[in-house]
């Protein structure tokens, strides 16, 4: 066994075990660094004992000689030979280096090399001698090998260790045996041991693919690709795997979007590895196009064209992205230039050369090319390019003299009459089939449109003779290109030729009836309606416009045309229908435009039809007639007869009754349990009822009803976008003014006192009492705010307030209380301030309203930004000035304040109250049941709010204190003290006022601008001690909680100025009070006190914990760790 190696005592193989041979250990360590040495197939196919690695083999010499592993001998010999060659190379270089640097010293042989067996080192050393002197290295140095050039491309992943390779081979064999679960477990174990193994991830992906688990297979492939991020080809393969089957998915399928997004990510990583990879860039652009992000795809196509400008496929995709973008005019120049570059290149290559990269230039490319001239309205350039490129496609590139006749299209005439008048024309040079009749029908139609736009009617009419819609072969001629009929018809309609345009539109309709792959879309229906309108056939036009709205719910032009028809009818319902159509059109228009970052109005992206090459259609069966059981989507209300309206009203009543039953049945479960299904069903039913109530225009003033119609349609937030069509906005305003009942005929002749809207309402709507309707509104608001939909809850409350049904003081009070509750629950301080201003201004101004304002702002867990805002501060100040003026007038002039009916309302009141509400705020339109002592009717009545008698008008302490607190919060302490002093003059023994004055003085003293801090502190603590004595000594009815409050506030005041020793004493009194309460509870003396015990428990839970925490912090600061620990154990332990 001379071929075997001896392992050094310090080698890893020797440490692994004495009975293991050196050959296998050498192969093991060598294969860790060399990627070219394969593992033995029999060894890789071994059992579980062999899976642990090569170190588990223990073969002696007899087994080797007996052929126990004869299949491995070749593998082991090859390993040994390669190791010998490497060692020989190393020793040659080493001895040459030694000979060069030790030429003047006697050389000595190195019989033994470190880590190499003697049997191997001797022949190597002998081969290095010159034959005369044994053991002496040659004097001439060996030439240094040149450094090999680094191979370009991604770095290869490190080869996994042999044990990992063995496990991968075993997992692959299990996969081949279709033992998928075992293979998955083995691969997962490999990944656990060595996650950076791409082969394991790829094998796991293959297993999941066989198990039809495509999601897991995709994720495994992506995970494996991240281990070799510089391999662009691998990323592209993963992207193609993600895109497999995407074309067969529905556009609304979320799996399609996810697959496309993953493909975009993979292509992006491929571009990170190779920025010049055109295939990856175009693949990314294609995926972006399918995602609907045409603006991003356009940029990728443009970058790909910089590398391959003659790629016709990329140019076509670029054109599609440009047409599909938000603003086709913005990108039309780039797409047109790309086509122009290819055309010029092919033109320079000679006659009949149309092949570019990845395809040839076809007639469909010319059609797309001309589309950009139409978008840019470059009619003359478009006509010139059409003639030139079509001539080249027909093989007449040499006849460039036709370009000298830009105003005539004689070369495309069907006869030779005008062509022969040209001097350069040579009859017979080209076939007559290469002239007039060779031009495709759609291109001749495009040339006709160009001439019409240029105003060249003569040439346009000559083209029109070749496009006769009444010819016997018209259907056959236009069957492959029906869209050109719409272009011709629209051009004629714009040129005030509706009769001719109608012929082309009817031909399109005839072709659509025969072909199965085209239909009468909304555009052609609107054009047909315009033709009928111009010809005076209004009934046919109305039918076409309604069909267009049915086909496309977002069509604006059909609604505008229909509104123009209804505006001039004598029927009031027709004018109302016109107004609704205009409002829908304005909302749709607002939805189709958006604001960019600079504030400019830009159109949103819209889908366009495909612009690919048109192929001949196969004859199909005619379209099926409309199903009579399928109702139309849109029917104007003016076309519904009385019987139909009654039937619809009955259906709505039944639906409302059903929803009301659901609301009553689920009321208890929805509000007093956590049943999500009951909450969802109740909310859905209540929402339907509210929407039904709001759609009844008799319940709302006209302006509120119009607002509901405008914001309740398809335009979500569309009012923020101004209408680009000023005529449309003017028409909407004209219709709104004409339909307003307040502006009806003869309204100016009615006296002002008689303009009150008198309505005779029943006591219920759809069988439900109006009081129940109000409960549904408010309950829905509560349900919505509990679902974190506070904005929707505000809308419901606003709708209830705007209704003319609930105008009584009690009803408006309930609505605003519910509104305020929703705002408090949502923590919306802005809305809380707005609602509180209603109570202080409109609903019984007084102390209770002011306290409610303070309580609502205190309850919101938000910063006091709106409590101290400018509008709120000015409002409170105006209230104080009004109160001062009334008091001064009462005391000085002895006059009563004017009643509310004689006071002019403020501007805010005029804006917030409708004309109907301002006159009927006293009672609901639905009168309560009559009693013996009062007489009531169902008519609207007008009552004035009740104000207090003149003798009761005094300065309000709560109002002065609130304004003082607002100034206090804004650190305006000197001004706050003025208002606190006014409040103290009215109620000197009020503990809150004394506390506020004391804290204002203390905070003022701590300011840098304070001039006499000692005086301010003395004043402050004088008021604080007045507050303290009032709480603890003077008032015999004071509770334990109020005493704790006084102790705690004094302690906080002393802590504020840094006197911790005094603050600790007051904090200790809080704990003493709590200790006494606990002792009484332990002795049973608190039994029977009921709510009083609960109050003390609440104070103990808040102030006691705060006081104990402050005492603990003081002890720590003073170094009393034991005291801090004792306080914490006694009072700060969570039970």
At 144 the pLDDT is 55
- 761 has pLDDT over 80: no
- 233 has pLDDT over 70: yes
Mean pLDDT highest for which of 263-272, 457-466, 806-815? 263-272
What is the secondary structure of 869-911 as a DSSP string?
A: SHHHHHHHHHHHHHHHHHHHHHHHT--PPPPGGGSPPPHHHHH
Beta bridge partners of 311: 357
21: number of CA atoms within 13 Å, CB side?
19
Portion of the chain with pLDDT greater than 90, in percent: 31
Neighbours of 390 (CB within 10 A): 21
Distance CA 373, CA 682 (A): 57
Tens digits of per-residue pLDDT, 1092-1119? 444 445 555 578 899 999 999 999 888 8
At 149 the pLDDT is 60
Distance CA 504, CA 527 (A): 11
The residue-averaged pLDDT of 1026-1052 equals: 88
At 80 the pLDDT is 62
Tens digits of per-residue pLDDT, 551-569? 888 888 888 888 888 877 7
List the one residue out of 620, 805, 847 whose CA is nearest residue 705.
805
Range with the poorest average pLDDT among 44-58, 204-218, 690-704, 845-859: 44-58
At 38 the pLDDT is 37
Range with the poorest average pLDDT among 241-245, 353-357, 908-912: 908-912
The residue-averaged pLDDT of 837-866 equals: 81
Distance CA 704, CA 706 (A): 5
The residue-averaged pLDDT of 712-718 equals: 37
Question: 0.85 exceeded by the pTM?
Answer: no
At 318 the pLDDT is 92
- 790 has pLDDT over 60: yes
Task: Choose between 550 and 110: higher pLDDT.
Answer: 550
Range with the poorest average pLDDT among 105-114, 224-233, 1015-1024: 105-114
Written as six digits, the tokens of 219 are 């994720």
- Containing 727, the helix (H) or strand (E) segment is helix 726-739
Under the banding of pLDDT at 50, 70 and 90, the label for residue 217 is: very high
Which of the 8 DSSP states describes residue 410?
G
- In terms of C-beta density within 10 A (0-12 exposed, 13-18 middle, 19 or more buried), how is residue 1076 classed? exposed
CB 82 within 8 A of CB 195: no
Task: Choose between 71 and 951: higher pLDDT.
Answer: 951
The residue-averaged pLDDT of 338-360 equals: 88
Mean pLDDT of the chain: 75
Apex 748 CA angle, 742 and 752, nearest 5: 80
* Four-residue CA torsion sign, 884, 890, 895, 900: positive
N-to-C CA span, the chain: 80
- 1022 has pLDDT over 90: yes
At 114 the pLDDT is 41
The residue-averaged pLDDT of 1086-1092 equals: 46
The residue-averaged pLDDT of 945-965 equals: 69
Find tokens 């029943």 and name the residue.
762
Which of the 8 DSSP states describes residue 1034?
I
Which of the 8 DSSP states describes residue 311?
B
272: number of CA atoms within 13 Å, CB side?
13
Neighbours of 1073 (CB within 10 A): 23
Tens digits of per-residue pLDDT, 635-668? 565 555 567 767 777 888 899 999 999 999 998 8
Q: Quick check: helix, strand or coil at residue 765?
A: strand
CB 982 within 8 A of CB 1011: no
List the one residue out of 973, 981, 1030, 1045 whose CA is nearest residue 1007.
973
CB 889 within 8 A of CB 895: yes
The residue-averaged pLDDT of 712-731 equals: 50
Apex 56 CA angle, 51 and 60, nearest 5: 135
- 599 has pLDDT over 80: no
Range with the poorest average pLDDT among 149-163, 242-256, 488-502, 1066-1080: 149-163
At 88 the pLDDT is 73
At 146 the pLDDT is 58
Under the banding of pLDDT at 50, 70 and 90, the label for residue 147 is: low
- 105 has pLDDT over 50: no
Range with the poorest average pLDDT among 360-374, 420-434, 462-476, 924-938: 924-938
- 758 has pLDDT over 90: no
Range with the poorest average pLDDT among 61-65, 796-800, 862-866: 61-65
Written as six digits, the tokens of 303 are 């970058």
- Say what the alpha-carbon torsion angle 1000, 1006, 1011, 1015 is, to the nearest 10 degrees: 60
Q: What is the maximum alpha-carbon separation in the chain?
A: 147
Under the banding of pLDDT at 50, 70 and 90, the label for residue 72 is: very low
At 797 the pLDDT is 92
Under the banding of pLDDT at 50, 70 and 90, the label for residue 266 is: very high
Distance CA 1132, CA 1116 (A): 15
The residue-averaged pLDDT of 723-730 equals: 63
Under the banding of pLDDT at 50, 70 and 90, the label for residue 673 is: confident
Distance CA 635, CA 632 (A): 7
β-bridge pairing 355-356 and 359-360: antiparallel
CB 181 within 8 A of CB 196: no
Q: What angle separates helix 870-892 from helix 829-841, to the nearest 10 degrees?
A: 20
At 641 the pLDDT is 55
- 943 has pLDDT over 60: no
Which of the 8 DSSP states describes residue 349?
T
- 920 has pLDDT over 50: no
CB 586 within 8 A of CB 718: yes
CB 22 within 8 A of CB 5: yes
The residue-averaged pLDDT of 1074-1092 equals: 63
CB 338 within 8 A of CB 356: no
The residue-averaged pLDDT of 871-896 equals: 78
At 136 the pLDDT is 42
The residue-averaged pLDDT of 974-990 equals: 92
Distance CA 925, CA 771 (A): 12
- Phi, psi torsion values for 595, nearest 5 degrees: -100, 130
CB proximity list for 622: less than 8 A, separation 6 or greater: 513, 514, 516
Under the banding of pLDDT at 50, 70 and 90, the label for residue 602 is: low
The residue-averaged pLDDT of 1052-1069 equals: 93
Under the banding of pLDDT at 50, 70 and 90, the label for residue 42 is: very low
Which of the 8 DSSP states describes residue 411?
G
CB 271 within 8 A of CB 301: no
* Four-residue CA torsion sign, 802, 806, 812, 815: negative
CB 31 within 8 A of CB 39: yes
Tens digits of per-residue pLDDT, 276-319? 999 999 999 999 999 989 989 999 999 999 999 999 999 999 99
- 694 has pLDDT over 80: yes
Whats the size of the chain, residue-wise? Answer: 1135
Task: Choose between 1 and 849: higher pLDDT.
Answer: 849
Beta bridge partners of 769: 764
């Amino acid at each position: 066994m001379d071929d075997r190696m001896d392992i050094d005592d310090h080698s890893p193989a020797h440490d692994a075990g004495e009975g293991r041979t050196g050959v296998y250990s050498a192969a093991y360590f060598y294969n860790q660094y060399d990627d070219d040495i394969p593992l033995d197939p029999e060894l890789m196919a071994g059992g579980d004992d062999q899976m642990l690695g090569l170190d588990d083999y223990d073969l002696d010499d007899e087994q080797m000689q007996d052929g126990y592993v004869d299949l491995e001998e070749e593998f082991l010999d090859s390993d040994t030979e390669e190791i010998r060659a490497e060692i020989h190379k190393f020793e040659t270089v080493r001895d040459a280096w030694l000979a060069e640097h030790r030429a003047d010293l006697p050389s000595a042989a190195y019989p033994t090399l470190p880590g190499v067996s003697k049997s191997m080192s001797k022949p190597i050393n002998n081969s290095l001698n010159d034959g005369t002197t044994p053991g002496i290295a040659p004097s001439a140095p060996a030439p240094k090998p040149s450094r090999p050039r680094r191979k370009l491309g991604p770095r290869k992943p490190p080869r996994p260790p042999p044990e990992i390779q063995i496990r991968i081979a075993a997992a692959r064999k299990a996969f081949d045996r279709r033992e998928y679960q075992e293979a998955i477990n083995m691969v997962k174990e490999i990944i656990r041991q060595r996650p950076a193994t791409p082969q394991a991830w790829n094998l796991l992906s293959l297993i999941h693919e066989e198990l039809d688990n495509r999601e897991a297979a995709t994720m495994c492939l992506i995970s494996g690709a991240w281990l070799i991020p510089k391999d662009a080809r691998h990323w592209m393969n993963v992207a193609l795997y993600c895109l497999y089957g995407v074309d067969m998915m529905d556009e609304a399928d979320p799996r399609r979007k996810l697959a496309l997004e993953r493909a975009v990510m993979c292509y992006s990583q491929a571009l990170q590895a190779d920025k010049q990879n055109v295939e990856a860039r175009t693949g990314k652009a294609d995926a972006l196009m399918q995602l609907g992000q045409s603006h991003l795809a356009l940029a990728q196509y443009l970058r790909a064209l910089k590398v391959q400008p003659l790629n016709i496929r990329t140019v076509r995709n670029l054109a599609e992205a440009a047409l599909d973008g938000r603003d086709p005019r913005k990108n039309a120049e780039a797409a047109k230039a790309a086509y122009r570059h290819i055309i010029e290149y092919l033109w320079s290559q000679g006659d009949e050369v149309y092949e570019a990269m990845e395809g040839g230039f076809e007639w469909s490319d010319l059609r797309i090319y001309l589309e950009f001239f139409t978008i840019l309205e470059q009619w003359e350039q478009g006509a010139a390019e059409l003639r030139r490129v079509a001539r080249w496609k027909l093989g007449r590139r040499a006849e460039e003299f036709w370009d000298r006749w830009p105003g005539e299209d004689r070369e495309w005439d069907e006869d030779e009459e005008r062509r022969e008048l040209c001097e350069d024309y040579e009859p017979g040079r080209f076939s007559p089939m290469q002239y007039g009749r060779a031009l495709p029908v759609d291109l001749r139609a495009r040339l006709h449109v160009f001439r019409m736009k240029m105003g060249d009617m003569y040439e346009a009419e000559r083209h029109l003779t070749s496009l006769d819609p009444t010819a016997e072969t018209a259907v056959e001629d236009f069957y492959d290109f029906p869209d050109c009929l719409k272009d011709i018809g629209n051009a004629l309609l714009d040129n005030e030729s509706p009769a001719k345009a109608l012929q082309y539109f009817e031909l399109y309709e005839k072709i659509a009836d025969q072909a199965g792959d085209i239909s009468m879309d909304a555009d052609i229906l609107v054009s047909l309606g315009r033709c009928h309108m111009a010809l005076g056939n209004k009934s046919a036009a109305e039918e076409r416009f309604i069909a267009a709205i049915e086909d496309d719910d977002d069509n604006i032009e059909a609604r505008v045309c229909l509104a123009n028809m209804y505006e001039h009818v004598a029927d009031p319902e027709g004018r109302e229908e016109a107004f609704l159509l205009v409002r829908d059109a304005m909302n749709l228009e607002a939805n189709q435009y958006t604001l960019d970052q600079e504030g400019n109005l830009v159109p949103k992206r819209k889908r366009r039809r495909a612009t690919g090459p048109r192929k001949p259609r196969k004859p199909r069966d005619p379209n099926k007639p409309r199903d009579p059981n399928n109702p139309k989507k849109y029917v104007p209300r003016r076309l519904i007869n009385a019987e139909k309206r009654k039937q619809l009203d009955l259906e709505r009543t039944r639906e409302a009754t059903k929803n009301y039953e659901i609301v009553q049945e689920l009321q208890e479960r929805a509000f007093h349990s956590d049943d999500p299904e009951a909450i969802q069903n109740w909310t859905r039913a209540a929402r339907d009822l509210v929407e039904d109530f709001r759609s009844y225009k008799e319940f709302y003033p006209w302006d509120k009803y119009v607002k509901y119609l405008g914001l309740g349609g398809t335009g979500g937030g569309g009012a923020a976008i101004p209408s680009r069509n000023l005529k449309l906005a003017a028409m909407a305003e004209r219709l709104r003014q004409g339909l307003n009942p307040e502006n009806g005929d003869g309204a100016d002749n009615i006296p002002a006192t008689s303009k009150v809207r008198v309505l005779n309402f029943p006591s219920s709507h759809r069988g439900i009492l109006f009081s129940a309707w109000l409960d549904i509104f408010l309950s829905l608001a509560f349900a919505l705010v509990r679902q974190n939909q506070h904005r929707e809850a505000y809308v419901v409350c606003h709708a209830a307030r705007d209704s003319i049904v609930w105008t009584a003081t009690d009803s408006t009070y309930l609505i605003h209380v519910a509104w305020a509750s929703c705002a408090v629950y949502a923590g919306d301080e802005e809305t809380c301030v707005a609602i509180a201003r209603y109570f202080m201004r409109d609903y019984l101004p007084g102390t209770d309203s002011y306290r409610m304002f303070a309580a609502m702002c205190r309850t919101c867990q938000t910063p006091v930004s709106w409590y101290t805002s400018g509008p709120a501060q000015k409002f409170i100040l105006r209230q104080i000035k009004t109160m001062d003026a009334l008091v001064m007038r009462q005391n000085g002039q002895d006059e009563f304040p004017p009643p509310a009916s004689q006071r002019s309302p403020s501007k805010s009141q005029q804006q917030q109250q409708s004309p109907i509400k301002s006159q009927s705020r006293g009672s609901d339109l639905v009168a309560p049941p009559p009693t013996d002592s009062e007489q009531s009717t169902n008519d609207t009545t007008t009552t004035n709010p009740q104000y207090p008698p003149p003798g009761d008008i005094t300065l309000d302490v709560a109002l002065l204190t609130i304004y003082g607190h607002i100034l206090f919060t804004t650190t305006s302490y000197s001004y706050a003290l003025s208002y606190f002093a006014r409040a103290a003059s009215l109620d000197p023994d009020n503990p809150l006022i004394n506390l506020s004055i004391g804290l204002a003085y203390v905070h003022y003293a701590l300011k840098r601008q304070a001039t006499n801090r000692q005086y301010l502190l003395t004043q402050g603590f004088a008021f604080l001690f007045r507050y303290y004595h009032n709480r603890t000594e003077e008032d015999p009815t004071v509770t334990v909680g109020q005493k704790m409050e006084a102790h705690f506030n004094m302690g906080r005041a002393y802590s504020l100025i840094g006197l911790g020793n005094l603050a600790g004493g007051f904090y200790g009194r809080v704990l003493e009070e709590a200790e006494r309460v606990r002792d009484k509870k332990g002795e049973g003396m608190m039994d029977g006190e009921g709510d009083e015990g609960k109050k003390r428990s609440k104070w103990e839970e808040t102030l006691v914990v705060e006081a104990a925490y402050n005492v603990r912090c003081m002890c720590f600061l003073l170094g009393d760790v034991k005291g801090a620990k004792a306080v914490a154990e006694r009072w700060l332990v969570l039970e």
